[in-house]
């Protein structure tokens, strides 16, 4: 059984940086090690959407996933390098804790069945 998490993060308000961020996330520019590490953490699927500078991530995860496990896997040298690169484009959303990147969003509505 999978679980879904939704998170938010902002990009710096700079059109060139936003385009470069999108370039880094295009299929031909992805770092294979990063995708492998994400999957090792128990992430089954991940999508990122962008509106202006606000990003929205949807993660579908399996029963082995935890944010603590994701943090451990993100200590891999390639993941550290990737995260340092991404901080050049990203900035925390208002209300996030110091050093916090992606923040969990609260679901406030679900269409009844």
Beta-bridge mates of residue 5: 59
DSSP code, position 96 = P
User: Contact, 2 vs 65, CB < 8 A?
Assistant: no
What digits encode the pLDDT tens for the residues 21-67? 999 999 999 999 999 999 999 999 999 999 999 999 999 999 999 99
Helix (H) or strand (E) holding 56: strand 54-61
76: number of CA atoms within 13 Å, CB side?
Answer: 15
pTM: 0.91
pLDDT-above-70 percentage for the chain: 100
Domains plus CATH for the chain?
3-99 (3.30.70.1090)
Q: Is the pLDDT of residue 108 over 90?
A: yes
């Amino acid at each position: 059984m999978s679980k879904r998490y939704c998170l938010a993060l902002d990009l710096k308000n700079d059109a060139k940086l936003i385009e470069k961020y999108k370039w880094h996330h295009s299929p031909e520019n992805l770092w294979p090690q990063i995708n492998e590490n994400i999957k090792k953490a128990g992430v089954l699927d991940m999508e990122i959407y962008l509106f202006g500078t606000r990003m929205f991530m949807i993660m579908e995860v399996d029963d082995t996933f935890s944010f603590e496990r994701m943090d451990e896997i993100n200590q891999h040298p390639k993941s550290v390098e990737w995260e340092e690169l991404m901080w050049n484009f990203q900035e925390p959303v208002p209300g996030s804790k110091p050093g916090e990147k992606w923040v969990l969003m609260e679901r406030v509505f679900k269409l009844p069945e």
